[in-house]
Amino acid sequence: MFDINKIRSDFPILSRKVNGQPLVYLDNAATSQTPNQVINVITDYYTRLNSNIHRGVHKLSQEATEAYEGARKKIQQHFNAAHTHEIIFTAGTTESINLIASGYSSILKKGDELVISALEHHSNIVPWQMLCEKTGAELKVIPMTQKGTLDINILDSIISNKTRLVFVNHVSNALGTVNPIKEIIAKAHNVKAEVLIDGAQACPHIKADLQSLDVDYYVTSAHKLCGPTGVGMLYGKEALLNKLPPYQGGGEMIATVTFEKTTYADLPHKFEAGTPNISGGIAFGAALDYMNDIGFEAISAYEAELLDYATTALKELPGLKIYGEAPEKTAVISFNIEGIHPYDIGSILDQMGIAVRTGHHCAQPIMDYFEISGTIRASFSFYNTREEVDRLVEGLRKAMKMLQ
């Protein structure tokens, strides 16, 4: 039973007021809110378990280690990875991507080709540009269409025997487009290329099955999934992770150290130098527990209804244009109102307690394609309501009267 009132009561921030108005939080694509069930786990760590992990023989260290490694197991099971040691804790999606880019800097050579899509977040563009500058590899781009989808029809002409790596987001953060990643992965594997999927925007809405997808690398951040900031996941196939060098040097990631030579620890510790975000990792597992208790099928169905309702309501506003109308998309609506700058709309909505995102959403090539400076982005989660959509529409009407 999807009980929206019970769910909303789990999120303390949803009961606060902003500028004297009840908060309407529609910036979920940037970061989701955190329920008491996750906040309590963080509090419990610092009040009952606070200790470093893996190295201690005392009780606190053992209990903290058990909780942290238990969270890794939850993540492995949630995403259906083959092995727990294929799950690497990172600071988030950006660090996960940079870890892989760093590893391939010693593998790629001049003449190799990397493929990204036109729908990528900057964190899935810039590291690969930097990698190409270091190695002499060439970056190629899968183009997009006016609907905000990828032009998959020409993918076969872009991926070739020179392609070594393909990078695509599962869902566009700017438009909500769900990309056909299974087809892309299969085509890449046909030419023996490896694939990294940026799952940051998909994971709050879609439960990815990594073995079914046969993806080589998959990355995400806990703060998109009702978890804390500063922690995320890199999944990689065991054989591929084993061939990559460590990303950082330090404690924990070593097997032996002498002044003559250092040998590295086995997975996953080879990539986890230093003291990690222990409470964050444990809370990541708790956030997945929370969302799985609600059920991703129920979440998806509810958000789809909310997206349809919001899309219909917004289209009734004069001069409003929606960017990104893919047949399959998550609960994100990116739009502009003719003659009004997105920032001005966002600022007025904020005075009414309505939080939306304005700008290029770290996806400037998408904005360049549409020949705009940015958009207003309303992104919904399973704890949002139709009443909040109505507040958004009412707020936009007031803003338009003030600014036109």
How many CB atoms are located within 10 Å of the residue 256 CB? 9
In 259-308, the DSSP E strands lie at: 262-264
CA angle 92, 61, 253 (to 5 degrees): 50
Q: Which two tokens stand for residue 216?
A: 């080589």
Tokens linked to 222: 């806990």
Strands 113-117 and 87-90: unpaired
The DSSP output letter for 153 is G
The pair of structure tokens assigned to 310 is 């919001």
Establish whether 362 is a catalytic residue. Answer: yes
Provide the strand spans (E) within 75-224: 87-90, 113-117, 138-142, 163-169, 194-198, 217-221
Asked whether the beta carbons of 260 and 252 are under 8 A apart, the reply is no
**CA 14/CA 24 separation, integer angstroms:** 8
- Compute the distance between CA of residue 10 and CA of residue 109 in angstroms, rounded to an integer: 51
Is the separation of the CB atoms in 299 and 331 below 8 Å? no
Its sign, for the CA torsion 218, 224, 227, 229, is positive
Give a three-class secondary structure readout of 257-268.
ECCCCEEECCCC
Strands 194-198 and 163-169: parallel
Length of the chain: 404
Cα 209 to Cα 229: distance, rounded to the nearest angstrom: 24
Closest among 204, 211, 118, 209 to 167, alpha carbons compared: 118
Q: What is the DSSP string of 286-319?
A: HHHHHHHHH-HHHHHHHHHHHHHHHHHHHHTSTT
Catalytic choice (132, 203, 226, 362): 362
Tokens 């704890």 correspond to 383
- Write out the catalytic residue numbers: 362
